Amino acid sequence: MKYENIFFKNDIEYKIEIKLDDEHKNGHDDFSITASICQYKHAPNIIIDGCCHQKILMVRPEYAIFIRLHLSDWKGVPMHAVENGSYFIKEKEYDAAKSLLRISDYELEYLKKFTESKDYFTYAIQRLGLLERWKAEADIAIAYLMRLCKREKCPKFKGVGHFKPLSKAKFSKIAKLEENGYFN
């Protein structure tokens, strides 16, 4: 799905593009929102182009959900959630981790204990119920994008997405470690 919103405000042209597709041919559909902002005095002059999310929010705050989901898959999972999320937390880049993972301070504190391995961090994401919350947010964005595109039927999305959940056995094994105080 693709939606373009082109409008003028104070001699400035805004072209905002919202997409949920596999444009990059990576095997799964991802959200993206970008803009091209041009000033027209004597000739077109590009002011900014690309992921200028703050500029988009200034003129279209109603698109905030797409900005939160930018580079997330159709299930709402952020790209490289485990790798980048754990990296940001290890490096104490907490605002980056909270923004990427769309989490609260409380959830950040919980995740800090699980950066030792990908499996542990994956467990913590599943344990917090982030997959379900991310999917619910993506479903809202998909419905909104369908309205913008004037579509009545939701397209079939492809790919498994950005997240591989743990097997039940592996999840149970890590849950037992947590239960026994391993992560404290």
Q: Does the pLDDT of residue 11 top 90, yes or no?
A: no
User: Nearest Cα to 16, choosing from 32, 40, 39, 30?
Assistant: 32
Q: Tell which wins on pLDDT, 61 or 25.
A: 61
Euclidean distance between CA atoms 163 and 184, whole angstroms: 26
Which residues, including other chains, have CB under 8 Å from residue 171's CB and lie 6 or more apart? 123, 126, 165
The pLDDT assigned to 168 comes to: 97
Q: Tell which wins on pLDDT, 47 or 88.
A: 88
- Model's pTM, two decimal places? 0.90
Q: Does the pLDDT of residue 135 top 80, yes or no?
A: yes
